[in-house]
Chains A and B, each alone.
Chain A
Amino acid sequence: MRKKRFLAIIAVALMLALMLSACGGGSQTTDDTSKPADTSTGTSDGESSSEQVTITFAQGKDVSNATKNTIEQFEAKYPNIKVNYQEMPPESDQQHNSYVTALSAGDDSVDVYSIDVIWPAEFASAGWLEPLDDYFPQQEREKYLQGPIQSCTVNGKLYAAPFFTDAGLLYYRKDLVSTPPETWDDLYKIGKQLMDEGKVDYGFVFQANQYEGLVCDALEYIHSNGGKVLEDSKVVLNSPNAIEALNIFKKMLEIAPKGVTTYIENDSLVTFQEGKAAFMRNWPYAWAIVNSSESKVKDKVGIAPIPKGPNGDTTGKATLGGWNLAINKNSKHKDEAWKFIEFIISEQGQKIQAIDGGHLPVLQSLYKDADVLKANPYFADMYDVVINALPRPVSPFYPKISESMQINIHKFLMNEIDAETAIENITKDIEQILAQ
């Protein structure tokens, strides 16, 4: 009898556990996954009206109010469309993995994706994105920054719309440096001098860890020295300009913290914010932080375009960052999804991004807009920077290209191979990759 009681207790405990789990998750599962056409049912209305539509928007975490305001204003403008915001982790890689896993399984639960500027080619080739040429005619596209538009174009077709953009900047201590340097050489000289005079611990701080950011930083040297990676789907990286550029990059290690080869954006920001460095290369997001109350260099910071190399153009070329908006090929509400995207890239939506979100807009006219400039005065200088920013190589195999660049450039910075070998390895790898 006692064993029966014991068994009974176990059984009850199990039941409880299972019930709890099924109940807790149950309402969600029946809601979202057992009905594939769920996104079209009227979630709030009792009867299903064909008018009411809910679309799902997946975006990495937004630290500002921009997303909330965008959705509010959009729903006010289109009362029959509700937007369900699926907040993703902030790291680009984690979003990428999530989306790849879901999309390769044919998931249709998300209608609009916010995708990193380097993903359109990859996702489009895999057949996951809906072409937008019909929705977004050429004359409309002219109103936008061409760099981001290029990043959305794959084989002549448009697979995404630009969302907001980003470009590398040179931050400098205006209390120590009167005129920002225009060439890498000058930057090195000024940085070294300030170090020798003991005014700062380090001349220059940037990102050189083995990760995607390394490619962004390295390309700024290469592009600013007249080098290029891909031209018409052919590799043109192997040039004296590129080799020279890499050597300039390496030289900067002399005036940077020893650990800079492990630094990502946050590390370089912290170093600069603590007043330890004269120059920093980082993205525009850092501007608000270095001027905040926690920063030890508040009000002492200026920004300037990326310097150029000896064989460069008129100005240095920043690397293009930013995010784009795309429609899931399996979406059941493509028209509504486009309306949402259209709203975000309209003047009203872009203004929200610029003012509430502090993001660089992709709509060119906003760089002269009074409201935008009032909220972000430094955007006035940013226009030239973004106009001249160059994207990373556009290819469905970009991740493999990036990987080869990361590994070889990092080995070069660690003194394991020289610049020529690094460039050669990357070139060979890319040729192999493109041959597939």
Chain B
Amino acid sequence: MKKHRGIQSTGIPENILGYLMVTPALLCILLIAIYPVFRTFSLSLTNMKMQFPDMAKYVGLKNYIQLLEEPRFWSATYNTLYFTVVSVALELVIGFVMALVMNMPFQGRGIVRAAVLVPWAIPTTISATMWKFMYHDQFGVINDILYRLGIISQYKSWLGSTSSALWCAIIADVWKTAPFMGLLLLAGLQTIPAELYEAATVDGASKVRQFFSVTLPLVMPTMLVALIFRTLDAFRVFDLIFVLTGGGPGNSTETLSMYSYTMLFRNLDFGTGSAIAVLIFIFVFLISLAYIALLNKQNESAEL
């Protein structure tokens, strides 16, 4: 093998180069994130309340134990899980359909691609306010549409009923973030060489078969990345719920992030608020471990 030119001629071994290349990114993250994360952890072990900052003392795991015994914490966890699982599932399916459509050659697909990204491009607080007005029981356009189509006989208060409020949030979230999934999946679809499809067609496989044997396995890595980040975001959902329902009705849409926010900023209870944040982190961490395990399995089979 010939000697390599360029940087290699100075003899930098591969692994050092590797570390060099990741350092800028890592440095950025560590510099900025380490102190806040550390501070959150340490605050969660105290009973710090802003109203009496001098009286804060170390209480160990007391905050955590109290939280785990608190029914409100578990109902917030349930709401968060429900929201996350349903939203992400819907976003995956719809996003995939979007990606497949955007991948196909047809007239005007450029416009379609741009149009599809609209929901993701609107700032969250704006789209949440917009949906709040669309769901309104008196001048909401959703009531208007459903009434005209004959689906409902009278206007309903969608956000005011415990059975529908969380679903309203889910629909608003799916509308907004399915494009995100769609975009990532589209990029993933792009990495599949066309020859594989051609070969499969030659072998006589149907479109459906091709989807399952060619598309799905090869788009899996991208899909898993999209899923991880989407799940992380959905689990930490805050802006949407805050604007849409404020946690109501009857506190039935309160998620873990909202609970943490209320403790931290409204009640100035930094001890409990930080503990909830750490618990969110732990939940999310466990979920990510599962995804990463899946991703590693995928990588192994792909490398073979």
Q: Which A residues contact B (CB, under 8 angstroms)?
A: 3, 93, 96-97, 100, 104, 122, 125-127, 209-211, 257-262, 267, 270-271, 276, 396-397, 399-400, 403, 407, 410-411, 413-414, 416, 436
Contact = CB atoms under 8 A, between A and B. Distances in A.
B52 interface: yes
Contact of A127 (B53, B156, B249, B266): B53
B72 to A, nearest CB: 8
B6 A3 contact: yes
B247 interface: yes
Given A210-B247, A257-B157, A400-B269, 15 more contacts: A100-B265, A104-B50, A125-B52, A126-B50, A126-B51, A209-B248, A211-B246, A258-B156, A262-B137, A262-B248, A267-B136, A270-B139, A403-B262, A410-B249, A411-B250
B49 interface: yes
Interface string B122-138: 00000000000000111
A281 to B, nearest CB: 17
A3 B137 CA distance: 61
A258 B155 contact: yes
B245 interface: yes
13 contacts: A96-B265, A126-B50, A126-B53, A210-B251, A259-B160, A261-B248, A261-B249, A262-B248, A267-B138, A270-B139, A410-B248, A410-B249, A410-B250
Contacts of B53: 104, 126-127
Given A125-B51, A411-B250, A414-B249, A259 B137 contact: yes
A279 to B, nearest CB: 16
A210 B249 contact: yes
Interface string B232-271: 0000000000000111111100000000001001111100
B250 A262 contact: no
Interface residues of B, number: 30
Given A210-B251, A259-B159, A276-B138, A122 B268 contact: yes
B265 A122 contact: no
A122 B266 CA distance: 10
B239 to A, nearest CB: 12
Nearest to B269: A400
Contacts of B268: 100, 122, 126, 399
A267 B54 CA distance: 42
B250 A271 contact: no
Contacts of A262: 137, 157, 159-160, 245, 248-249
A403 B156 CA distance: 27
> Main SS of the interface on chain B?
loop
A271 B251 contact: no
Contact of B266 (A259, A396, A399): A399
Nearest to B254: A407
B299 interface: no
Contacts of B50: 100, 104, 122, 126
A152 B246 CA distance: 28
Nearest to B270: A104
A227 B145 CA distance: 45
Interface string B169-186: 000000000000000000
Q: Most chain-A Cβ atoms within 10 A of its Cβ — which of B159, B245, B268, B269?
A: B268
B162 interface: yes
A259 B136 contact: yes
A313 B155 CA distance: 39
Contacts of A271: 138
Contacts of A258: 137, 155-157, 160
A258 B49 CA distance: 39
A100 B50 CA distance: 9
Q: Most chain-A Cβ atoms within 10 A of its Cβ — which of B53, B157, B162, B246?
A: B246
Interface string B50-84: 11111000000000000000000000000000000
B157 A259 contact: yes
B302 to A, nearest CB: 29
B269 A410 contact: no
A291 B53 CA distance: 48
Contacts of B138: 257, 259, 267, 270-271, 276
B246 A209 contact: yes
Contacts of B6: 3
A260 B159 CA distance: 10
Report the 5 A-B pairs with minimum CB-CB distance, sorted nearest first: A259-B137, A210-B248, A259-B157, A125-B51, A411-B250
Interface string B40-51: 000000000111
Nearest to A214: B248
A273 to B, nearest CB: 11
Contacts of B155: 258
A403 B266 contact: yes
A210 B250 contact: yes
Nearest to B143: A259
Nearest to B137: A259
B51 A396 contact: yes
A3 B7 CA distance: 11
B62 to A, nearest CB: 13
B8 to A, nearest CB: 13
Interface string B262-304: 1001111100000000000000000000000000000000000
A97 B249 CA distance: 23
Nearest to B159: A262
B275 to A, nearest CB: 16
Contacts of A93: 265-266
A154 to B, nearest CB: 11
A389 B198 CA distance: 79
Nearest to A400: B267
Contacts of B159: 259, 262
A211 B262 CA distance: 12
Contact of A410 (B51, B137, B251, B265): B251
A93 B49 CA distance: 18
Nearest to B72: A407
A399 B269 CA distance: 10
Q: Most chain-B Cβ atoms within 10 A of its Cβ — which of A261, A262, A413?
A: A262
Contact of B250 (A267, A399, A407): A407
Contacts of B269: 400
Interface string B160-171: 101000000000
Contacts of B157: 257-259, 261-262
Nearest to B132: A262
A399 B52 contact: no
Q: Most chain-B Cβ atoms within 10 A of its Cβ — which of A104, A125, A259, A270?
A: A259
